[in-house]
Amino acid sequence: NAGVTQTPKFQVLKTGQSMTLQCAQDMNHNSMYWYRQDPGMGLRLIYYSASEGTTDKGEVPNGYNVSRLNKREFSLRLESAAPSQTSVYFCASRESSPYGYTFGSGTRLTVV
């Protein structure tokens, strides 16, 4: 099915390990977003890419980096994982304003 694909779906990391969360969309959307969702905190924006070749920080960028590899792909990297980064991570894409997002299925990350 067309949409937003995130990998992996689940991951357990040890403190200090690094990893990259992958996101790809096949809807030819211009903008892509990374959010984390924690109980009681709602969806918080980490980074976004309004168009290919641009990236911007969101509300909670510390400890993360991103790469907009091409129009389809937007990856999120944790260089040195910390227990505070235990969360559910969602990637989303959007054609343009005023349309809404399409979300991926999420990555459940646990840092021990």
Partner 1 sequence: QKEVEQNSGPLSVPEGAIASLNCTYSDRGSQSFFWYRQYSGKSPELIMFIYSNGDKEDGRFTAQLNKASQYVSLLIRDSQPSDSATYLCAVNEMDSGNTPLVFGKGTRLSVIA
Q: Which residues bind partner 1 (CB under 8 A)?
A: 30-31, 33, 40-43, 45, 48, 50-51, 58, 90, 94, 96-106
CB of 17 or CB of 88, closer to partner 1: 88
CB of 19 or CB of 50, closer to partner 1: 50
Minimum CB separation of residue 15 from partner 1 in Å reads 25
How does DSSP assign the chain, residue by residue?
--SEEEE-SEEEE-TT--EEEEEEE-S--SEEEEEEEETTTEEEEEEEESSTT--EE-S--TTEEEEE-SSSBEEEEESS--GGG-EEEEEEEESSTTS--EE---EEEEE-
